[in-house]
Amino acid sequence: MFCGSSPGVDPDWTKQSYEVGRGLAEKGIGLVYGGGGSGLMREVSQGALDAGGEVIGVMPRSMIEREWGRADLTALHVVDTMHERKALMAALADAFLTLPGGLGTLEEVIEVWSWRHIGFNDDPVAFLNLGGVWTTLLKALEGLVDAGFIQPAVLDDVVVAEDLDSALAGLTARLCDESGDEPGGGRNGGSGQR
């Protein structure tokens, strides 16, 4: 899970992030996130914890020393650098779901998305487009497709959804397509995508 360490300006994002965490736990899906104790990071982790879910945090030591983390998680992995944090999160996750967030959130999701398409990672990526927060970014990326810098298949592969169930359906379709467990519609299969 990638999301903001601040709540943003829309109070619905706080409520929706909590419900995403709760929804994941109720479906038996563990949460791996940056370990933060504020903003949307706090809400999504609290929702999962309140529903009895597994919540694994990964945070650099310097952030722990600044008291930015949570001590009440199922597990907290303390690493030395942001690079180690992202690598461990990628190793622990099966798919990536992105809630509203800022530069850090954006940098993390773009990195794993690009890794997927150059063969360093095969985990699918989704944007939960709460309140249309990611619409402008996705339009800008369409411009890069038009300019010839991003292949259309790369943009088609990302799941864009308005709700958790649609996001999970899209991610699951991509996981099944790649594993061969179920027939699917190729990279464009599944619900909740663009």
Average pLDDT, the chain: 91
SS3 127: strand
CA distance 184 to 171: 12
Helix or strand (DSSP H, E) at 113: helix 103-118
pLDDT tens for each residue of 144-161:
999 999 999 999 999 999
Distance of alpha carbon 103 from its chain centroid, rounded? Answer: 14
Would you say 76 and 59 are in contact if contact means Cβ atoms under 8 Å apart?
Answer: yes
pTM of the model: 0.89
CA distance 188 to 194: 9
- pLDDT the model gives residue 178: 73
Burial of 11 (0-12, 13-18, 19+ CB in 10 A): exposed
